[in-house]
Structure 1
């Protein structure tokens, strides 16, 4: 027989959505625990660390549903970074307090009025040339820079903060050998512990936030489509581009003619003292399925067009494939908000964006807390339960 653990809430998946939810549940006095093989493995560690406030989604000159939904997220994250509230990220590293929106000559004029409108002026401010980063201190730069009130975080340090504060409630498991099992109409989780052995976890509510792993776990629970699509989950892939070397720090979206940035660059320090430019936007979107060498060449050409004065001849290059897992949409487009589906005592959830983790956690509590009956006894982590490690940063894996 397996050992048995009883809790109020079990969270399966150690990305930002599951970790934030764990903190929120425990702050309200519930016995919540989280199981994962590695903290942040997958989408979270592969994110750029941008806490979007929606400006990126208004690049067509209009306020979208995504812009409005995500607008309050930077404030919630900043509270956590100060150590205020249920989630304490005071030990996490802020790479940049602000991002830049970067327009080339002639591009910015069509949006100048919109950027100055009441809807956007609280989100961004035009930078004086005297405050430009050094990279743009050249007569060859003919565009403009806008400062966005959206921070960029070092995601490994965010994950390490959760690991530090919640180690007693984090359990390392072999996710491939662990499974949901049904007994008398309720689901339980048979966890294969990383150190060996198994434990049966009985929870009043099971929340699955395993990203791309969600579908395999819960497919038997949803035999019929939950909407007009033929599945529960959709994957929207990216192929990110990385450049490593003696590079200046920059955190910016280069604006083009579409609703997606020509390129989005975030800068990350490496363990050997260099800097990586981690690049998304159009190169990552349009690079799906391309040979890495082709995508790298195209990205170099794009950077040469945007930064013709800057020498990139001495940097190392690599790419990284990411599957963004989301609730399936009939159109295949990105959902505007977090998504939640429930069957019995199992709820599967997707945050959609890193920044949406607080919103998703609050939605889960609103929906599921009223269904919880008498509280479980305090959870005591046994010696056979290891704490999951934090996933390695992408650039430390590829270089």
Structure 2
């Protein structure tokens, strides 16, 4: 005879362990809610660790020479993140590593007079500053560089340390779930999570179930025979190159379009190797290209923009990504984070942050929905799920997977401090 189902009651069940779900879990725990977060792969996998770690204030959306809805929606986000990184915000990010406290924009071609005048106007003061020659980053100090250079207040964070920080803040509440052994089910106008374990079934009932699984939200809704809120996908293909250039760099190259021609961010491998991660229009236009063709295109772009950098011997790889977003008329890029209930279900919310920068906004929206629905902490925290489910692991970065080390990080560190025998 099988054991009867075990029922566990929580305030909130979050499905999806990327930065959106983890940030929301931090906010909810800080507000006294009991919760559990369920992840089917690894924390930060897919979209989160595939991002370039940019926390920007929207200036990269102003290349037409004017402020836009997208640029204004996130204007205050760098300030919000900086407060959290100092331990003074709504989420404690003091253990998150900052890769750079600024971002550059430089011109590969002559900037149009409209854009140049806009960047020099009062409206961008404090958000965009022209960079003098002696303040240029090493990459652009070459005598052949003749373009315009601007410094943005944007910052760049190390996304693996961000995920580790957020997960550590809610230690014991992140669980690995196998959808072959689990499913969302409906009970009238509410949903719950049914998990088949070695000791029998577990029914997880929550006041609210929040889907923050990115692209996976659509499949979860389909499993419930639901199709709203609808999702759209924005395909990209980023390029990674492992090189021996000694300096890190974070910047957008401006072209003739309204999106950056090329975006470069720098990352480190566990063995200390340097990686450039290339995005911008290159990644958007390269979404439909074969990896070999896109790598060749990337080589040509870098040769055109920074020909003085010797990339001989660099290793190259591509990463295809599908960014999940709420469906928009004409499939345009959404300006803000999105959270909405599902018609016909009382306890289900679906969210997409749309950009790393806007993750705090998604959590704010969820808490606003809770206030409207008068959802307050009601159930005590529980550790019962640890009897059936393993903790969710941390995901590896795309560059770790693309360029696996020839030796472990520990062995590499030991070599640096190697001292020959006196004999």
Deviation per CA, 1:18-52: give whole Å up to 9, x if none.
11111111111111221113111110010000012
Q: Separation in 2 of the partners of 1:312 and 1:166? A: 42
Deviation at 1:192, TM superposition (A): 5.4
Does residue 204 (structure 1) correspond to residue 216 (structure 2)? The answer is no
SS at match of 2:115: helix
Runs of 5+ consecutive residues of structure 2 not aligned to the other structure: 404-423
CA contact (8 A) 1:325 1:352 kept: yes
CA contact (8 A) 2:184 2:224 kept: no
Deviation at 1:330, TM superposition (A): 2.0
SS at match of 1:18: helix
Deviation per CA, 1:179-210: give whole Å up to 9, x if none.
110113211012457x9965321001000000
Q: What residue is the counterpart of 2:288 in the other structure?
A: 289
Q: Separation in 1 of the partners of 2:130 and 2:70? A: 23
Does residue 259 (structure 1) correspond to residue 258 (structure 2)? The answer is yes
Larger CA Rg, structure 1 vs 2:
2
Deviation per CA, 1:254-284: give whole Å up to 9, x if none.
0001111110000001112111000100110
Of 324, 332, 351, 1:349 maps to 351
Q: What residue is the counterpart of 2:6 in the other structure?
A: 3
CA distance 1:115–1:222, shift in 2 (3 Å): farther
Alignment of 1:360-379 (within 5 A): 360-371=362-373, 372=375, 375-379=378-382
Q: What residue is the counterpart of 1:242 in the other structure?
A: 240
379-388 or 289-298, which deviates more: 379-388
Deviation at 1:374, TM superposition (A): 6.2
Q: Separation in 2 of the partners of 1:77 and 1:23? A: 14
Q: How well do the aligned residues superpose, as a CA RMSD in angstroms?
A: 1.8
CA distance 1:175–1:42, shift in 2 (3 Å): farther
- How does the TM-score come out when normalised to structure 1? 0.94
Does residue 302 (structure 1) correspond to residue 305 (structure 2)? The answer is no
Of 108, 133, 136, 1:132 maps to 136
Q: What residue is the counterpart of 1:330 in the other structure?
A: 329
CA distance 1:192–1:358, shift in 2 (3 Å): farther
CA distance 1:120–1:197, shift in 2 (3 Å): farther
103-112 or 313-322, which deviates more: 103-112
- For these two proteins, the number of residue pairs brought into alignment is 393
Q: Separation in 2 of the partners of 1:11 and 1:58? A: 35
CA contact (8 A) 2:5 2:201 kept: yes
Runs of 5+ consecutive residues of structure 1 not aligned to the other structure: 227-231
Deviation at 1:8, TM superposition (A): 0.7
Deviation at 1:86, TM superposition (A): 3.0
Deviation at 1:176, TM superposition (A): 4.8
Q: What residue is the counterpart of 2:119 in the other structure?
A: 115
Of 62, 87, 91, 1:87 maps to 91
Q: Separation in 1 of the partners of 2:335 and 2:357? A: 12
Of 64, 69, 76, 1:72 maps to 76
Does residue 18 (structure 1) correspond to residue 17 (structure 2)? The answer is no
Does residue 61 (structure 1) correspond to residue 65 (structure 2)? The answer is yes
Of 375, 387, 394, 2:391 maps to 387
Alignment of 1:145-160 (within 5 A): 145-160=149-164
Deviation per CA, 1:61-115: give whole Å up to 9, x if none.
1111010001111111111111123311111111111010111352264422101
182-191 or 302-311, which deviates more: 182-191
SS at match of 2:13: strand
Deviation per CA, 1:259-314: give whole Å up to 9, x if none.
11110000001112111000100110001121111000011001100011111122
22-31 or 42-51, which deviates more: 22-31
SS at match of 1:337: coil
- How does the TM-score come out when normalised to structure 2? 0.89
SS at match of 1:234: strand
Q: What residue is the counterpart of 1:359 in the other structure?
A: 361
CA contact (8 A) 2:33 2:376 kept: no
293-302 or 137-146, which deviates more: 137-146
Q: What residue is the counterpart of 1:321 in the other structure?
A: 320
